[in-house]
Amino acid sequence: MPVTDDAVATARRWVEGSERLVVLTGAGISTDSGIPDFRGPQGVWTKNPQAEKASNIRYYVDDPEVRKTAWRMRLDSPFLRAEPNVGHTVLAEVDRKRRLHALITQNVDGLHIEAGVDPEKVIEVHGNVREFVCLDCGDRGPLRDALDRVRAGELDPPCRVCGGILKTATISFGQSLREEDIAAAQRAAVECDVLLAVGTTLGVYPVAGCVPLAKQTGARIVIINAEPTEMDDLADLVLRGQIKELLPAVLAGVTNS
């Protein structure tokens, strides 16, 4: 069903009147930045099953060849070339207006922070690809430093502190999410008066659980996505269409103030 002007105007009014706006984003907000999804017809894992194996912590730790493959893929990763699109920049403008309470994201691309959202307000539940982390001692640093070592011939660069295994600071399959990030996301959901879910099917937990949490505490739920989501029945308003068109329109009451 086409999105009506009245529906967009209603969402805009709710956002404009919000005192504690929380935004939850998924892969859909970054596709316009050239970052493909993972499981779709043209997804990274659909086209290259080995890439999915590299995202499983057991294979990654046990098999040096899997790690070498992962580091080669990182050299040409679309994440490193991607730049914020209008969806990211309009949310950054909302934050500059001091109208963003928190931004929960399932994405690891770091584009919200690159666009200018205060890092203190961004909850990267699945980690990020901007940094490397040592699985043994926890040492961290810019991913580009590790990639420079790969380009120089270190096919599986070890940690320079302890000699342990390095990977991107993302949460792989088989790894536990950081409890402090989950707690922060749930706290934001409980505190908000409007929860705006953008570009996510809301099928991955525990992040998807933020929607019913917000609903239970009386927040209005607005979903913007190209396809149906698993939480559409909980939403006060569902806007189905292009994020690059709908999100700026919904946030216009804040960004133009």
As annotated, the active-site residues are: 126
CA–CA separation, 188 vs 23, rounded Å?
9
What CA–CA distance (Å, rounded) separates 29 from 204?
A: 16
- Cα–Cα distance, 179 to 181 (Å, whole number): 5
**Pairing of the two strands 122-124 and 140-142:** unpaired
State how far the Cα of 132 lies from the Cα of 167, in Å rounded to an integer.
Answer: 5
Strands 127-134 and 166-170: antiparallel
Rounded to whole angstroms, the Cα distance separating 252 from 158 reads 48
Length in residues, the chain = 257
Kind of pairing between the strands at 127-134 and 140-142: antiparallel
